[in-house]
Amino acid sequence: EESSKNVAKLMKEFFSEEIYEILTTAGKLAEEMGYGAYLVGGSVRDLIMRRPSPDVDIVVEGDGIAFAQELSKKIDGKVIPHPRFATAKILKEIIRNGEKKSFYIDIATARTEYYESPAALPKVETSSIKKDLYRRDFTINALAVKLNSKNFGLLIDFFGGQRDIKDKKIRVLHNLSFVEDPTRAIRAIRFSEKLGFKISKHTENLIKLAVKMSIFEKLKGPRLYEELILLLKETQPHHSIKRLADYGLLKILHPSLEEKKLYSELARAYETVQAMELLFLKEKYRKELIYLMVMLWNLEDHERQEFLQKICVPENIKKEVIENIISAEKALQAFPSEESPVEIYTLLSSLNIEIIILMMVYAQEQQKKAISFYLTKLKEIKPLLRGEDLKTLGIPPGPIYKKIFDEILKEKLQGRLLSKEEEIEFAKNFGK
């Protein structure tokens, strides 16, 4: 079911000039080296759907690392090879909206199940991309576009990916897909939620069958964490976690997780994050970790450990989320009962933004107002005076400087000392 559609024109429209140039350069290089080169995976799916795609993936029928090294030279990038997997990443600095950004090109060697003898090379050339694609998760991710200059833009669709994109269907390529890689069940939900696609009946049955056969009990390793994080990051978490539960997959992550309460808390966390986006906070925060902390919030200490262990969270993140939850709990308990700006500031200014947003999810109405007040007003308040200014006033440098700044800050938090002149006046009189 190979199509002969050519999408070169669409590529030219869709990709930036710089990236289009990289792809045509890759195509010319493939010709020179006698390799087949293909754009594959999410970037083809996104191209056909005309959705922006973060990075590009290329598969090479040939030596992927050698190809990456040559391509990198031509486009002035930096190669990071992974010989163990016969893959490489090229890092290329590009300009987007006037800003420098890192752009990654992933290059892999076409993967085939079986050893192929060099004598069979001509046959391999046409079949190895097909085998590579056949190992992939869903039909929508198993499209390829030929890059070789001779056929640049030829869309290769062995498994009906175009039709499934049109029908908005998530469909596996074969019945053993989830047995081969159980994390694909999480991916199915992620793509379904983020693209607004339906998981096909048959694929859904295969997930249910895999659950029945306890395939997911063996689910382990860092990929589980990575997929869960992507799920939380790219979808509305209350919807996608509910769907995990519907397939019986949530309780596999931890038996104590399956509770109605979790969905409403995740929904609240999602709303909180949406509201934060409107505040245009300068600080970056990882919303997916906030959702993960919400998942952990109602668990006992030992259950938190078990859950984090099970999904193989990296040690540093594990420590961080546990500590952040405890800080948020403590801060909520210590929350000042009256609306004193100084006390609110004192409580919140030592906490990172992720802890503060987490607090917001579990705060009472009054506390929520206070936290918003802190984020929108108090947080930015700083004395206008500098050490230099105090020196000019003839105050000898020493610990007194910190005292003066602290007192000025307190005054300002209460709405006083609005101008630099007033601060100077205050500093002059300080300690008198």
Q: What is the contact surface with ligand CTP in residues (CB under 6 A)?
A: 41-42, 57, 136-137, 141, 181, 183-184, 187
> At its nearest, how many Å lie between ligand CTP and the CB of residue 265?
26
Burial class (CB in 10 A: 0-12, 13-18, 19+), 221: exposed
CA–CA dist 191, 19 (Å, integer)? 25
Query: Is the CB of 86 or the CB of 342 nearer to ligand CTP?
Result: 86
Residues 6 or more apart whose Cβ sits within 8 Å of residue 304 = 296, 322, 325
> At its nearest, how many Å lie between ligand CTP and the CB of residue 41?
3
Q: Are 383 and 405 in contact (CB under 8 A)?
A: yes
> At its nearest, how many Å lie between ligand CTP and the CB of residue 349?
37
**Cα 394–Cα 395–Cα 400 angle in degrees, nearest 5:** 175
Structure tokens at 425: 């006046």
Query: Is the CB of 187 or the CB of 251 nearer to ligand CTP?
Result: 187
> At its nearest, how many Å lie between ligand CTP and the CB of residue 97?
21
Query: Is the CB of 180 or the CB of 406 nearer to ligand CTP?
Result: 180
- Measured from each CB, the residue nearest to ligand CTP is 42
> At its nearest, how many Å lie between ligand CTP and the CB of residue 291?
17
Q: How many CA atoms lie within 13 A of 322 on its CB side?
A: 17
> At its nearest, how many Å lie between ligand CTP and the CB of residue 400?
56
Structure tokens at 108: 């892999």
Tell me if residue 135 falls in helix, strand or coil: coil
Q: Are 104 and 43 in contact (CB under 8 A)?
A: no
Query: Is the CB of 138 or the CB of 291 nearer to ligand CTP?
Result: 138
Q: Report the candidate in 115, 162, 123, 133 with the shortest Cα–Cα distance to residue 57.
A: 133
Query: Is the CB of 171 or the CB of 304 nearer to ligand CTP?
Result: 171
Query: Is the CB of 183 or the CB of 240 nearer to ligand CTP?
Result: 183
